Chain A
Amino acid sequence: MKRQIIGFIHKEFIQVFRDRNILRVIFVMPVVQLLLFGYVVNTDVKNIAMRYHDFDNSPLSREFIDAFRAGDYFAPEPSDQPIYELNRHFETSEADMVVVIPADFSEGFADKKRVTVGLIADGSNANSTNIGIGYASRIANQFSLNQLNIEPPVEMSRRVLYNPQQETVYFMVPGIVATLLTMVTIMLTSMAIVRESERGTLEQILVTPISTWTLLLGKTIPFAILGVFVMAITLALGVLWFQIPFTGSVLLLAGLGAVFLLTTLGIGLFFSTVTRTQQQAMFFAWFFMIFSMLTSGFFTPVANMPPFLQYLTLLNPMRFFLVIVRGIMMKGAGLADLYPETIAMVLLGGAIFSLAAYRFHRRLL
């Protein structure tokens, strides 16, 4: 029995390693992509391109503009378009906001009236516009308080834990690693069985006296080993090259990483049993990859998604793994902190493997 499994795995290994191109795709591409995308900066809204029309042009209005310049939220510059064509700024995307200071700005201020400043914003990027308007009204409030010599009674001191400098690399790399692992493992296994049946070699295997489970294990284990290698390489790159702190237990991450790989491999295997051609399998794999990437909490938090989608994310192992990687690496979280995610992945993995075995059985009959 044991010799059988080992023999079968051996055959699978030979099959995978025979194709040098596959190895290149599996090992070289993830490394290159991680090195590139680690440097992608996430949408921290800074230096918003701003143009202004100052119809007052008084010391006070210039001080107001300078208040916007302070800090790195805005980069105000005088507008070079006439006021009635200020949307040219937005059509060419050279500016995202235009401030219009009325001619009676300093006069109204001196009369202790409330003066209104116009702020016209390009709303096509809803998120950064929203944040930008928030910044702008806060700057205006602060400016008013300063001018009136009113000191705010309550001040807030802020402290950011785990990533105080808000380095985007720390945030990006775990997400990229999880995405790459999902991609590689699902792509490989989703082809595994359908490839044999498309080429007609599945019959040859079926006439040999190996059980369904042996066959499924034999199809999974080589890819699991490859997956572990890819995980080790990419995470090592994250720590050594990108200098991401690793505060938690390496052993725990390795163990939970293995559980994660089992779930993605199981999903790939399942796809392999429900499709008829390699192309179909690849489409399923592709669909699942996009699903796991976009709903994992990598780009936006899961709590932000509509409720039905939040329920669907329970089928996404990457969602749990991302919490685990960020937790262990950055927060030093232990198993006690991460048990809900761990249980979810184990359940998911067990369910999907059973489903794959069931489908495979039915196909044989």
Chain B
Amino acid sequence: MRKILFIARKEFRHVMRDPRSLVIVLMMPVIMTLLYGHAINMDIEHVTLAVVDKDNSPSSRDLTGRFFASKYFDHPTEAISDFEPEAILRSGHAHAVLVIQPEFGASMERGDKVRVGLIVDGSDNNVSAAVQNYAVGVVQQFNMSRIPPGFELPGVAIAPQVMYNPDLRSSHFFVPGLVAILLMMISALLTSITIAREKETGTMEQLLTAPVTPMQILTGKIVPYLLIACIDGAIVIAMAQIVYGVPFVGSHLLFAGFVFVYVSTALSLGVLISTLVSSQQVAMMLAIMITVMPSVMLSGYVFAIKYMPMPLQIISHVVAARFFVPVVRGIMLKGSDLASLLSQGIGMIVLLIVFMSLALLRFKKRMG
């Protein structure tokens, strides 16, 4: 134990000697949370809709008015000169084009069934799905308004009641997820250079001749960063509550325990990377490549894991953030207890053991 602390103190001096890096490490999560808490916002609004109204009757104006009365649709910023829907979409001036045929109003007066057309730009799936969804809603609302007065409409009404996040704020979903991916990336990046630096500067031999075991070296190297990463975690969580008003329903103690395990896992991944390569540059590049995209794409932060193809769902188990994202959301928003998050905890611990053993194996091989 004393030997571990000895290594830890040495590593701690390394950190303190470069205060600029330390400031960066502590400031970056703050800046990132401020910037990106609202960046990922899936409530698609401000869809630009171009209208080609060949009828221009009171009825058709009523219909188009309803589109723009909702918060979802905006007029294009540039005047549309070309009325060919495809040209409008290709130029990117609008996401969708609503086409109303000449006889629209007259047919409606006669009580005929009429059609309107919606042509959607499918190149951004997020937008195109939302556009269609909103447009169907607007038309249905328009239809309901056309039921003659005096004709009482009974039927079924849905009374929705939303739990945990009654205002349906996107940030309540994405800010906790951001915590998970930021911690993963910072931690791995921090430890990825520890061993590689010793190799590069030639101080590795000194360390190896000291009377310490490889296990003591590796744990000792993790300790200072564990402290830094936990501070980072606390800052980001505090910001989530103060800046974004994300509630914290569950137990703080349970949460702290999970953060500790998660950060250890991420740090040990960094150490593993560090034992694999021989220069700081490659170590950091590898750390970025291994953590940035996988923790964003395969963790459930943006894309739900349960909708992915089976092989990807299986592969996602090597991404530690996959286990931590539901933990943060569960504890903060729903107040989940240890029992319902047990499998996530076990997943993280298994990864921690695997990363540490592999790192140890590599490290020993290098010595022998």
Chain A contact residues, CB within 8 Å of chain B: 19, 21-22, 25, 29, 33, 36-37, 39-46, 64, 87, 90-93, 109, 112-131, 133-138, 140-145, 147-148, 150-164, 166, 168, 170-171, 176, 179-180, 183, 187, 191, 195, 276-280, 282-287, 289-291, 293-295, 297, 299-301, 303-306, 309, 312, 323, 326-327, 330-333, 337
Contact = CB atoms under 8 A, between A and B. Distances in A.
Interface size class, chain B: 35 or more
9 contacts: A37-B297, A91-B334, A115-B156, A126-B170, A126-B173, A154-B146, A160-B128, A295-B39, A301-B127
Given A21-B278, A21-B286, 13 more contacts: A37-B298, A120-B163, A121-B163, A122-B164, A124-B334, A125-B304, A144-B155, A154-B113, A159-B120, A160-B120, A163-B122, A170-B123, A276-B20
Contacts of A166: 122, 125, 128-129
A162 B123 contact: yes
A279 B282 contact: no
Given A42-B303, A301-B44, A117 B155 contact: no
Interface string B8-20: 0000000000101
Interface string B120-143: 111111111110110111011011
B90 A333 contact: yes
Interface of B: 18, 20-21, 24-25, 28, 31-32, 35-36, 38-48, 63, 86, 89-92, 108, 111, 113-130, 132-133, 135-137, 139-140, 142-144, 146-147, 152-166, 168-170, 172-173, 185, 189, 193, 277-282, 284-286, 288-289, 292-294, 296-298, 302-304, 307-309, 311-312, 315, 326, 329-330, 333-334, 336, 340
A326 B296 CA distance: 21
B120 to A, nearest CB: 5
A8 to B, nearest CB: 20
Contacts of B113: 151, 153-155
B136 A156 contact: yes
Nearest to B74: A303
Contact of B293 (A46, A125, A179): A179
Given A130-B43, A160-B120, A166-B125, A121 B288 contact: no
Given A33-B293, A187-B288, A309-B35, A300 B18 contact: no
Contacts of A124: 164-165, 172-173, 329, 333-334
A16 to B, nearest CB: 11
The 6 A-B residue pairs with the shortest CB-CB distance in the complex, in nearest-first order: A144-B155, A123-B165, A127-B42, A163-B122, A123-B162, A160-B122
Contact of A299 (B40, B92, B135, B139): B40
Contacts, number: 364
Given A21-B282, A123-B162, A276-B20, A161 B86 contact: yes
A180 B12 CA distance: 33
Nearest to B114: A154
A41 B168 contact: no
A36 B135 CA distance: 34
A289 B139 contact: no
Given A117-B158, A140-B158, A326-B123, A153 B41 contact: no
A330 B136 contact: no
Contacts of A122: 162-164, 334
- Residue among A113, A116, A300, A332 with most chain B CB within 10 A: A300
A286 B189 contact: yes
A300 to B, nearest CB: 6
Contact of B173 (A127, A144, A327): A127
B129 A44 contact: yes
Contacts of A326: 123-124
Contacts of A327: 90, 92, 123
Contact of B126 (A42, A119, A158): A42
- Residue among B144, B168, B294 with most chain A CB within 10 A: B168
Nearest to A120: B161
Contacts of B297: 37, 40
Given A123-B163, A187-B288, A278-B280, A162 B43 contact: no
A167 B146 CA distance: 36
Contact of B307 (A44, A87, A91, A176): A44
Contacts of B280: 278-279
B359 to A, nearest CB: 17
B291 to A, nearest CB: 9
Nearest to A326: B123
A87 B162 CA distance: 11
A25 B273 CA distance: 12
Contacts of A144: 153-156
Given A22-B285, A299-B40, A283 B28 contact: yes
A136 B160 contact: yes
A301 B124 contact: yes
Contacts of A43: 42, 126, 302-304, 307
Given A277-B18, A331-B123, A152 B143 contact: yes
